[in-house]
Amino acid sequence: EPKATARAKLGVNGQWINVQDPKGDQGYVAAWYVADTKSQPAAVTVAAKAPAAVRPAAATAPAVKLPAGALAFVPTEELSFRTQPVIAPETLIRRIPTTEQVVSIEPANQAIPKVGVTGQWLKVRDASNKVGYVAAWYVKYASGSTAQQPATAAPAAASNGGAVKVKATAEGIALRKQPIVSDATLIKRLPLGAEFVVLEPNVDTKIGKNDQWLKVKDPTGAEGFVAAWFVAR
């Protein structure tokens, strides 16, 4: 097969290369078990690689203790860790299992809008402190990250109807017209520590919880919805 086609397959799982052996017999070999010997300019010559030794399954890594304000993620499925935000064989560093955390090294106000969005990438540090990129649409917040900090217990609102107030636990929290993540629903973004007055009852079951939203009023009087997992009492 053409050199360019064959070289693109070398070392890639699930790919096969049409080859001819030293005796002249033709057939197919698994591309992930061969490498280019670069010995002949007119054709791609490949040499077999010994398969990697089978290792026992690794034990689940303990959760990383995160510094204050850190955004940590876990994959929603086995995740590619890459040198660049490009899907290509040459950018792949390794696969990250769903049991391993990665920590964002981007500013929170840049990372937060990307989480779960197709086509977006996050620059992160893995468990071995190596830096690379992961697809933002294949991660979710890890337990212990800024977005998952449990709300600090607070006394119940006064019986005279005192308003419940919450504060943003992440930079760039979005105030939205509707409880939907979309450019069309964005009213504004507010800084870490911004205070909101909650405009609905029974909020304690929502504060700090993923996939929950709170109807609030910001310091300027603007009303809308904020992600409950980005606020605390």
Of 113, 146, 179, the one marking the end of a domain is 146
* pTM, entire model: 0.42
**Span 222-226, mean pLDDT?**
94
Q: What is the DSSP track for 153-205?
A: P-PPPPTTTPPPEEEESSTTEEEESSSS-SGGGEEEEE-TT-EEEE-SS--TT
Same domain, 139 and 166: no
Contacts 24+ apart (CB under 8 A), 57-60: 58/97, 60/99
Whole-number pLDDT of residue 152: 42
Average pLDDT, the chain: 78
Instruction: Tell me: pLDDT of 174 over 80.
Output: yes
Same domain, 11 and 83: no
Range of the domain at 103: 72-146
Percent of the chain with pLDDT over 70: 75
Whole-number pLDDT of residue 199: 92
> Number of structural domains, the chain?
3
The verdict on residue 125 lying in a domain is yes
pLDDT band at 224 (very low <50, low <70, confident <90, very high): very high
Same domain, 136 and 193: no
Calculate ∠ Cα 201-178-115, nearest 5°. Answer: 105
The verdict on residue 225 lying in a domain is yes
Same domain, 176 and 120: no
CA atoms within 13 A on the CB side of 37: 9
Same domain, 140 and 169: no
- 176 vs 215: CA distance, rounded Å: 9
Same domain, 129 and 180: no
The verdict on residue 65 lying in a domain is no
Per-residue pLDDT reduced to its tens digit, 82-117? 999 988 899 999 999 988 989 888 887 788 888 878
The verdict on residue 121 lying in a domain is yes
Whole-number pLDDT of residue 13: 64
Quick one: DSSP state of residue 78? S
Of 111, 146, 181, the one marking the end of a domain is 146
Same domain, 157 and 227: yes
- Say how many C-beta atoms besides its own lie within 10 A of residue 55's C-beta: 6
H or E segment and range at residue 24: none
Of 93, 126, 146, the one marking the end of a domain is 146
List the structure tokens of 59: 């034990």
Q: Which residue has the higher pLDDT, 64 or 16?
A: 16
Instruction: Tell me: pLDDT of 56 over 60.
Output: no
The verdict on residue 163 lying in a domain is yes
Instruction: Tell me: pLDDT of 154 over 70.
Output: no
CATH number at residue 138: 2.30.30.40
The verdict on residue 126 lying in a domain is yes
pLDDT band at 133 (very low <50, low <70, confident <90, very high): very high
The verdict on residue 63 lying in a domain is no
The verdict on residue 59 lying in a domain is no
Same domain, 167 and 100: no
